[in-house]
Copies of this chain bind each other. A is one copy, B any other.
Amino acid sequence: MVETRRRQIEDVASSLFRDQGYAGTSVRDIARGLAIQGASLYAHVASKEDVLWAIVRRAADRFERAADEAERATSGRPADERLEALVRGHVGVLTDDVGQASVFVREWRSLSSERRARIGERRDAYENRWRRLIAEGSQAGAFVPADPPLAAAYLLTALNGIATWYRPGGPLSARAIAAEFVNLSHRALAQERHP
């Protein structure tokens, strides 16, 4: 029950932060979105930043879990297949709950410094998984020789763009977006296979 209320708060806040930015949203706006008094909201959360912190942590958990699953499912497979699985997992996290994901992508820097540092470390660790795979694939000849940090930044930024424009129920399905973005990312790196 308490958990349900917290999720409602996070969902309403995600949507507001996405539309008007974290700085442009007040606790009162969030309370109004839930049709409760600001004072009642404080029974559930200590501050606006606490809500942001909860949203960002939950999104970070989802990205990490998706990468874990992608790595498990493609362990021992060629680098290009592992990359496809990582891309597909990342896009899935973005489209499954784009409000939450977009707050993660765009507003994590709005956290206070200690929390920002903790999320920054998790983001670095996540990006490092992509860099490592790109480095391995380049060495193994599965990928064209690429600069792993630059190529990882290129791919992750391109994918994260989904958070800014994707609307569930819009003209483009999550499946169509995933298919196109997996394809573009795969082609950007993978060696053409000559049968």
Contacts and interface: CB of A to CB of B under 8 A. Distances in A.
Interface of A: 21, 23-24, 144, 146-147, 150-151, 153-158, 160-161, 164-165, 172, 176-177, 180-181, 183-185, 187-189, 192
B161 A154 contact: yes
Contact of A158 (B147, B158, B192): B158
Classify the interface of chain A: helix, strand, loop or mixed.
helix
A79 B24 CA distance: 43
A155 B158 contact: yes
A171 B184 CA distance: 28
A42 to B, nearest CB: 23
Of all A-B residue pairs in the complex, the 8 with the closest CB atoms, nearest first, are: A157-B161, A158-B158, A23-B23, A188-B188, A150-B180, A184-B188, A154-B158, A192-B192
Given A158-B154, A180-B146, A185 B188 contact: yes
Contacts of A153: 161, 165
Contacts of A160: 157
Contact of A189 (B154, B161, B172, B184): B184
A151 to B, nearest CB: 6
A125 B158 CA distance: 20
Contacts of A185: 188
22 contacts: A23-B24, A144-B187, A146-B180, A150-B177, A150-B180, A151-B180, A151-B184, A153-B161, A153-B165, A154-B161, A154-B180, A154-B181, A154-B184, A155-B158, A156-B161, A157-B157, A157-B160, A157-B164, A158-B161, A184-B189, A185-B188, A188-B188
